[in-house]
Structure formats: structure tokens, C-alpha cells
Chains A and B, each alone.
Chain A
């Protein structure tokens, strides 16, 4: 019996220890002198929460095991090979009861069609799954106009967040008359909690390259750039390998596949600046400058890189293209809602059981995403909110869980679809604190060009800080709202225009919490340390003196073996006593 073993070696797998699993399988093959086992690397199937993962397949079927450590490996392989596979730690399986079989069934994988299945370092694996056939079809059988029409017809909208129709964007660039045009892939995925693009680049880099090549042909560009953030070294490595392999096979370079179409592709690495995800800032960064946005118009389609017409799309958008060209616009448009066609990839993070990556048809409800595909809450604590779209998005409460996922429905709530990050929060999260975090983030990342974005976010942050420290006043809410309005109006780019969203949505849906902080000086979630009171329960305290020794400001007193007291005036609310106490004698309220 021959056996194929695949290990998920994307960043998430590696972070969880996939390298040890890979070595353990190698060791197994060596010591058992097995000649019938093929060991392969793949990327992330999306089940990050169960990493590291190992998939075994033979003529008896395919089973994926999770939550592994190196010691478990030889027994799992032995049992699988003997036809009596272990039933513990089964994540996915076509023959056994897999814990997550339903999770995958609820998905529709177009963008992620190859991710976690193929070896991303092998162009043959990609070609073996219909790879580069769409490019051949496009450049040999279709005119650029037909491609633009097909993409328009599919209804695909930009997956970077704003949701601008991709076909229309291509049409603008195609209409420009110029001896030189560029196509650019925005892989500067910076939203906290978003990792869709990383997963696609690490797991299926050729799908992005193929999409870009088709786009280049459609708009008449012969050169392209992938701008990838430097925080993703593995994605950059896989892209470099993929570009070299594609050049060797004649999928990139001059006279592609014997046609007159030329396309040269470069990678540009960022250096840590969130604002570079904004298209004009990104172009400035490619040109070697500070990544600062500029006024539009002219739009990049008219004047982009070095003043030439340039088309910019996001990673996920490009990864859809080859599928659309091959299967046709109508097939794609079967998925989704009237105005948001196709599927969307989401990164699930926070207090959700199945944290990881999923792809679902547009039109699914948030509730289904979180409870059906995502497996529900990770803790016993109830759901409180979900943050969509990172620092540009908003927090939605439980009574909006039936909102369907499409651009327009989500925009109506005040949040945005964004690039697809979903951070799930339970009752232990303070919404004022969350708003403060995101504002702090945008405040730090503001490039400083527009006064309202630079100074206005700082003033908002100061107000939020004082609310969380218990010195907020009722007028603060009004001030926040008025500053927010002006920042939106007075900022040039998306960063500033959306920076107040987390504050506005939490004010809209969790106003009680703001009021509790301001009027009652209370933080129900127990997060805002300044509003906490630590007290010692005299009945539980055995007088072990541990808390007194841990207290950095020596504000706990008491005799040995007698109940201790906290001097509330001197207490700095650091919580050291609370963590140190072994008798649960210290209460936090």
C-alpha cells in the first residue's frame, strides 16, 4: 500500500510546530526503511486552531490528524498503514468521524481551491490542478476586451475592502492610451486579525501570478509588481520561487506561450507601514519613497506608477480571476447575492473555537459564519461582539448576527466588509478598550499628512483614555462624535476616513458601556484597570503574606496567618496580588 503524507507548513503550521512533525515523519521513514511513503509539504487548509496537522492518504481514503506532537507520529502512521486508523485527533476524514468534516462542507472554495492541497513550491502541483490553463485560454483564445467583459459580467468586486467592481477598474486602465502600463498586486495586508492574503500567497502563489498575468493582458500592461509586507517572509519566499518557476515554464517573461504577450513580474517588499495598503501610498513606496497617500484624481488608472496608467488589485481579487476565466462569469455569479457575487475568504480569530481561514459564499449570515463554520465560542462566556474590517471597520453586537455578509448589508451597519478579518469577542472584552486599541493603532499609523487624521485621532484617543481611566465626563461622547465627523471629512485617504469607525460603531451599539465608564466609573468586563477595586475576602485569606510580598507599592498589610488588607488609596491596581493569591481570597470588581 502506498501512502502520501502531507504536512501543513504555512506560517500558522510552523508557528504551532509543524517542523517537528515533518522531522518526525522523516525519521519514521528512515528508521522503518519505508519505500512506499511519499512525504509532501503543503500550506494551510484553514484549520489553524488544530495545527500542526498531518494528512495521510492511501487507497483506503484520506484522513487529517490535528493537535499533534512529534511523539504521536509513528503510532498514527503505523495504525493508518495497517488499515486500523486511530480515531483520536481526527480533524477531517472521508472514512472516519472527523471533528471538522462539517466545517469544510459549509464552505465553497474558489480562492482557496488549492491552498492546503498542493505543495506551493511546486509549479507542477499547480499545473496539475488546472493551473495556467486560464492564462493560455485568455491569451490564445480571447481578446483583452472579452476578458474585461467576462470579469465585469462575473460581478467580482475588489476584495481589499472597498468593493469596487474589478471589471470596471480594468476597463478604466484598458481605455488609457499609453506606451507603458503597470499592474500591481496589493499584498500589504495589515489589518490586525486578517490573514487571508498571507494564506493565499503562502499556499497558492501561482494563482495570484496567473490572475495578474491575465489582468496585464486585459489592460495592456507588460510589467507588474507584487507589493508584499515584510512581515510575511514565507509568502515572499514562495512568491520568488513561483515567479522563477513560471518564467522557466514560459508563463511569465517574453512571448508567453508563443504569443506576442510579454509580462515581467517583480516583488517589492514593504518595511512596516500600514498606510502603504492605501493604493497611492503603495505606489509611492514602490517608487522608493515614504508611503504617503496623494490626492485622487488622477486615479492610478490614469496616472499611477511613475505617472503611467496602473491597475491595482488585492491578492484575493487576483486569485479569483483564473477560476472566472476558466469556468465563466455565469458560473461565478451563481454564488453570492445580487450586488455581491462569488465567495469571500474570512480570517476567524479571537474567542472563536475554529480560529483559522474559511471561504463562504456571499449572502451567508454572520451567525452561520461564527456558529456553523466557526464552531461557536471558544469559552463558556457569551458572545459580545464581532469586529469586522479591522481598524477601518466596526464592532457588531449579538442582535446584528443575522446580518448577511455582503458589501452593502455590512456597510449599512456602520462596519465594513474590509479585507475579511473577523475578531470574535466574548463578555470579558471591554468595548471602550477595543475602540481605544484600534484608535491607538490608526493614530500610530497615520502618515501625518492630513491634520484631522494626525491630530484629530490623537484627541479622540486622549478622550477614550480618560474615559477608560474613570475621568471621563458626559460631554466626551459628543466630542468624540464631532471629532469623528471632522476626521472623516478632513482626511485624504481611506485610513483617516475610516479611522473613527471602531469608535462610532461601539458608541452606536455599546453606548451603555461608555456611560457605565463615564457615570458609574465601572468597567463591567473588568478590563479597564483604573476602574477596578481589589479587595481581600477575610474569610478566605489565610495570611500567607504572598500578596504583600508581591505588591510593588507595598500597600498590603497584615500579620502572618491573619487576614490582610489593601490600602485602597495607595493601590495602583496592577493585579499582582490577584494573580499571586492561591486561595482565591482576592476579589476584583
Chain B
């Protein structure tokens, strides 16, 4: 199943993090399944325990299915000082969603993350690979509606 990805990397331990990134990015639910771990373990010939060790060490990998759009709100002090708490509240209300949960339609997952390095425009969040800054509660509506609109 992951042959295409494996073809890009030689079966060496040093490529493990690359392979895991690619598997996760290519999965529609943006996570690494148990089956995937087994296949990677066979491909690079390391125990599954080692792979789980790596997988769970790094916060960006997920072993649970997630939504199509991952919202990652920065929880660092510069964003906090500029009101990220209200943005979180607004996101939870708008999406009717708890932290680290996924909407029923599988559209959004809400997470907090470490500093995104866009502190000059705090508060900031990232949806997939796009950064949104100078957030206000009104902007959240616009951004979420736009993504919902594009999906239709």
C-alpha cells in the first residue's frame, strides 16, 4: 500500500521520520495507522516498538484519525498576550468542537501548537500549511466559512 512512498527512500533507519511524514500527509485522515506502522517496520527492518517510540515522541505525528483540515492555534505567550484565548473560545464555538477533536463531517480538527514563529502578527493559527495572523473573532467566521465554501 505504501510502495510509492517506500520507493522514494532507501530502507534505512535515518529515513524513518521522512517516511512517517509522507504517510501521514498522504492519508486522507492525516494519521499513521497501525497497518502503516507494520509495513514500515517490515520495510526498514526495525521493530514496531521503535517506530511507535519515534511516532509518539514527536507531537506532529498522530496515531488517531483526524480531519481534512487541521487547525493549529498557537498557544505561545506572544499570542496569549494578544488574546489567543478568545480565539480558541471562538473556534470551539464556531466548530462546536473540543480540543484535539474532529468534527463529525471530518472537515476540521482543532489542536493547539507550539510557536509558529509569526509572533509579529499574533494571534496566529495554521490551517494545514497556511498561516492566518492578526486574528479576530470576526476573522475566524470568514476563514472557516471560506474553507467550508471551497469544499462544496
Contacts and interface: CB of A to CB of B under 8 A. Distances in A.
Chain B binding surface SS class: mixed
Interface stretch (A7-15, A396-404, A460-468, A580-588): A7-15
Interface in A151-166: none
B44 to A, nearest CB: 9
Interface in A16-46: 16
Q: Residue among B53, B81, B116, B124 with the most chain A CB within 10 A? A: B81
B116 A14 contact: no
B106 interface: no
Chain A binding surface SS class: mixed
Interface stretch (A71-79, A81-89, A266-274): A266-274
A447 B57 CA distance: 8
Nearest to B125: A15
Interface residues of A, number: 53
B76 A192 contact: yes
Q: Residue among B13, B15, B114, B120 with the most chain A CB within 10 A? A: B120
A355 B120 contact: yes
A214 interface: no
B45 interface: no
Interface string A187-213: 001111111011000000000000000
Contacts of A194: 115, 117, 119
A492 to B, nearest CB: 17
B147 interface: no
Contacts of B134: 15-16
Interface in A273-305: 273-274, 285-291
A11 B17 CA distance: 24
A251 interface: no
Given A193-B77, A271-B20, A429-B81, A231 B58 contact: no
A419 B69 CA distance: 32
Interface string B101-138: 00000000000011111111110101001111110000
Contacts of B118: 11-12, 15, 48, 195, 198
Contact of A195 (B16, B59, B120): B120
Interface of A: 11-12, 14-16, 48-49, 51, 189-195, 197-198, 230-233, 268-274, 285-291, 347-351, 355-357, 387, 421, 423, 425, 429, 434, 437-438, 441, 447
Given A11-B117, A423-B78, 8 more contacts: A195-B119, A230-B21, A269-B18, A272-B113, A285-B17, A286-B14, A355-B122, A438-B77
Interface of B: 12-18, 20-21, 53-54, 57-61, 76-78, 80-82, 113-122, 124, 126, 129-134
